[in-house]
Structure 1
Amino acid sequence: MRNYITYVSLVLSVFITNHLTAQQTYSNHTYPLTEFRSPLDIEPPALAGSFGELRSNHFHSGIDFRTNQRIGYPVYAPADGFISRLRVQNSGFGLALYISHPNGYTTVYGHLSRFNPKISQIVKNIQYKKTSYEIDEFPSADLIPVRKGEVIAYTGNTGSSGGPHLHFEIRDSKTEATINPQLLGISIPDNIPPTIGAMYVYRLNGKPFNEFTPKQYFQVAGGKGNYKLNQVSTINLSGEVGFGIVVNDRHNGASGNNGAYSIELAI
């Protein structure tokens, strides 16, 4: 690495689902964009949490739909399938269910307030049989079939939830790997580019990266995906270094900040 860097170019690539073509190829996989309908009929859809964004100790494994600070909105099956898991916890997802679909994906719904009457009765029977409020059951494929558009539950604020919302995931049924729902036809209006507030240079020098890694802070100026260092033309560097940015991303109709979908650094 050179000892001096005279400029740093930060390029943001943000995929807007409304403008995707019939299929989106990502990480050598091709995902059908029109397979799933939205689990909610709230218009316009808005997110309180985006896929893969940083949390305190993990990456967010799904998307969090806003529910106007209310509970009780109907949750719909996004495609045909069957209820493959029923879970009731005091923490975690609270009331949750999983639907396995013939296309090889499983959808997950967390923090529900209640299930539909049929599922509620099945859950109640299991709880009485086990004499336990908390359950984690895997029903057979023929016990609770569901059709696309069927009401399966209602949004809530159960478990480890900080406010009413629907946590929604799509997983590969075989591997349990989570997939960005926006690659599978779940459309969220978004034409607002992310913004960069600052840049950090971390002095690694062969040591593990953690919160104690020495770093330098640099302000940046610009917008619309094109940013430059503010009041600094040259950064003196030596040894092993890393770069980090403070980035915020908003989408249409929501004031909260979400994680940027894709970030590329070119030096």
Structure 2
Amino acid sequence: MRNEVTDKRKGRLEGKVAFVTGAAGGLGRSHIRRLAEEGADLVIVDICRSVDSVPYPQSTPEELHDAVAEVQALGRRVVARQTDVRDRTALQEAYDAGLKEFGRIDIVVANAGIAPMLVDDKLEAWHDALDVNLTGTFHTIEVAIPAMVAAGEGGSIVIVSSTAGLVGIGGASNGGLGYAASKHGVVGLMRTYANNLARHSIRVNSVHPTGVATRMITDPAIVDFVAQDPILSEEAPNALPVDTVEPVDVSNAILWLVSDEARYVTGVTLPVDAGFINRR
């Protein structure tokens, strides 16, 4: 028998709506699950197709469909669109569709990102990393700002960066350099938005995971790439005795940042890295 007290527990995000990019698989799928478990309704987008410079499989339309079903099974409502964060117009349309459905959006999680890292790569890997990770994050926040400000109820924005956004790792390839530059770049966006939006009570923060146990990390092409980097290929790159963290560990950090428990936290870079950065 289920515990009656547990059944009546109010979720930390009850009555809130979250806009999440890159939501169909990997980290994004974990984020929407945790937000929904805590009571949030969702507006979710994902490109659901491959990017030529990315060596590992991207999410699919079927996975986006499954993500919708998972949110609904948790008793939450969801609006989903197959959308590329590089396309500002399409992203705005997806955001507006969610706003029309729910009447509000309180939380933005700029999660969409790629790691176009190949030992033998091309210049397009640099451009793709910047276009998706940095410009896509910029687009995600910009489409949300007007309605969040107009609502006058504050809000929370979280950018998913990386340990590569705080230290100089990633190797010398076009994709590796682009990844590090883009993940550093979103920290600049975060800090500036945190200042710009503070007067509207909109908080902006970033999270910085070490390696996360998703298909991006386990794909043979990425494993080969990491083996070529003297820092990333260390036998024990993290201080704590784990090789990777789980997606839910990152999602829990995001959940805290967007909840009222972190109501006065803004402009911070929060590592979820098992001590990786501390060892550098």
Structure with the bigger percentage of strand: 1
Identify the TM-score tier after normalising by the shorter chain: under 0.3
Larger radius of gyration: 1
Question: Normalization by structure 2: what TM-score?
Answer: 0.24
Higher relative contact order at CA 8 Å, sep ≥6: structure 1 or structure 2? 1
